Amino acid sequence: MERNQTHPLAAAVRDAYRAGEDDETMEPLVLFEDGKPVGRIEDGDYVIFYNIRGEREIELTRAFVDDQFPHFEREPIVTHWTTMIEYHPNLDARVAFPPPGGIRDTLSETVSRAGKRQIKIVESEKQVHLTTFLNGGREDPFPGEERIIVDSLDFEGYLPPPSMRAEDVANAAIRALQDESVHLLVVNWANVDVIGHSEDRDAIKAAVSAVDAQLGRVLQAALAMDVIALVTADHGTVEKWYYPDGSIDTGHTDSEVPFVLVAPGVNGREDGRPVSVRAGGSLVDVAPTILALLGIEKPPAMTGTSLIRGTPGRAPGRVALLILDGWGVRDEQWGNLIAQADTPVMDELLAHHPAARLQAAGEAVGLPDQIPNREGKTVGNSEVGHVHIGAGRVITSDRLRIERSIEDISFFQNPALLSAMEGARDDGRALHLLGIISFYSSHGSVEHLKALLRMAGRVGVPRVYVHGMLGRRGEKPESGAIYVADIEAECQRLGVGQFVSLIGRFWSLDREENWDRIERSYRWLIHGEGRPVDPS
């Protein structure tokens, strides 16, 4: 085994790579000294969970903060838990950057207020995207809103079959289209995003083709029922599968996404008048477009505008919004698995129906426009994409709020973060920094972790331990070891903190109630259960 007294965890990660492990599913690693695990979470300790995405962080947080927790046996300890953003309003945790307020007058709320009926259909793998995110952070459905959640498949290993439950999602959508009392139907196919985070080219192309085939079935049903369909996506993934150097990029992209109008009698013209989709739009224009088609006045809060020029069919009508999760658009063929897959339905749509491309990354969706030290816009993601589809306006992301606060140094006076650090210092307890170890994951950034380390040094916290989660998405092969070494070096440079343990995000960031994974992560943090790493 490789030894490195300066960067022991980074060396252990490289050993894991050589043994065939990857970042996403890496077995837990724990630093041991004198035969004992270092830096375990103990009674009275303070924890800052610095991830920013939210929905995948709830289960692990619950394992520490819920008074009544039925899923596995826990230690009788009490911890002081702080989260970077609000993961769930019912969690017993202080929040450093609470939501500025619920997003009002979203697409769903506006449709509900107009007395219209709406149905949303999605696999459980992505249900939060079509419910909470699309509704501006609201968990409960609005009056007249029905949710059909198709249970995702149980499967062995990391990836489900490429087809997932695409056919069942389509079947539910077709039934909803046949119900004339449904005014708005919203459907999400998760396949391209879920399978796209792998390095399996054939599986990805099969997932793309599966979505294309089921999209075709739903569009046929929509046309038969005189329903206007809008086809789009929340962000890109596998249309840009390679980095410039030819290594595989398993993450999201900064590409635009398609927007296609499919309406009865519309093939570019309607009643002798042109019907078109304007260029230059973004995801914030989707909701105003739908409201216009339904004959509902756009609320003043929505700054987006309708993408359609002309009148496609009879209005007001019925509308189906079909979201192909992760389906980006890119002209270049190299590394473009969307273009390389068999997609006769989408090919026909783009050739013969009014279509355009929408911005789904960077400032257009409330993200920082540029990734520091990298080319291109900040990549989109499912949360941001669905929030903006539903909001109809630009919503400043939590990431941008945090990064602006670091720039103007208000971050270092944040009351929740200060409370955790001063509490650990004054109580003589340890401070644990828990989160993703990635340059620019949608779940967080090592730059946020570095800011926390600097802050802990200023406050004078005597014992600071870092517990990291690895994920390959959007990173080059074996980049996890580079980031781990970077944080180990930062701790040494600052004289603050010790990087003591790592785990693949597969185990710690679950959202499907796989409590066996969460229990493993809990025991990793409490007992140090994992592969021992000797720093000597």
**Model confidence pLDDT, tens digit, residues 26-47:** 999 999 999 999 999 999 999 9
Which pLDDT belongs to residue 243?
84
Does residue 269 register a pLDDT over 50? no
Residue 471 contacts residue 23 (beta carbons within 8 Å): yes
Which pLDDT belongs to residue 55?
85
- Co-location of 269 and 306 in the same domain: yes
Which pLDDT belongs to residue 374?
55
Mean pLDDT, residues 155-165: 86
DSSP letter (8 states) at residue 67: S
* Tally of domains within the chain: 2
Which pLDDT belongs to residue 221?
97
39's tokens = 């830096």
Mean pLDDT, residues 484-506: 95
Residue 507 contacts residue 37 (beta carbons within 8 Å): no
Residue 451 contacts residue 97 (beta carbons within 8 Å): no
- Of 96-105, 308-317, 429-438, 445-454, least confident by mean pLDDT is 308-317
Residue 203 contacts residue 162 (beta carbons within 8 Å): yes
Query: 2 lies in a domain?
Result: no
Which domain range does residue 273 map to?
A: 107-395
485's tokens = 């070494």
Q: How many other C-beta atoms are found inside a 10 Å radius of the C-beta of residue 3?
A: 12
Q: What is the CATH number of the domain that holds 19?
A: 3.40.1450.10
Q: What is the CATH number of the domain that holds 181?
A: 3.40.720.10
- Co-location of 313 and 405 in the same domain: no
Mean pLDDT, residues 74-100: 93
Mean pLDDT, residues 147-154: 94
372-406 pLDDT per residue, tens: 545 567 889 999 999 999 999 999 988 889 999 99
Q: Is 256 exposed, middle or buried (0-12, 13-18, 19+ CB in 10 A)?
A: buried
- Co-location of 411 and 518 in the same domain: yes
Mean pLDDT, residues 189-216: 96
- Co-location of 278 and 384 in the same domain: yes
Among 98-112, 210-224, 431-445, the range of highest mean pLDDT: 210-224
- Co-location of 167 and 285 in the same domain: yes
Measured CA to CA, the distance from residue 415 to residue 411 in angstroms comes to: 9
Number of H helices, E strands in the chain: 17, 21
Which pLDDT belongs to residue 477?
72
Q: 363, 395, 427: which is the final residue of a domain?
A: 395
- Going by DSSP bridges, is the β-strand pair 29-33/36-37 parallel, antiparallel, or unpaired? antiparallel
- Co-location of 121 and 79 in the same domain: no
Mean pLDDT, residues 272-290: 90
Q: 346, 373, 395: which is the final residue of a domain?
A: 395
Does residue 102 register a pLDDT over 80? no
- Co-location of 122 and 204 in the same domain: yes
Which pLDDT belongs to residue 347?
97
Mean pLDDT of the chain: 92
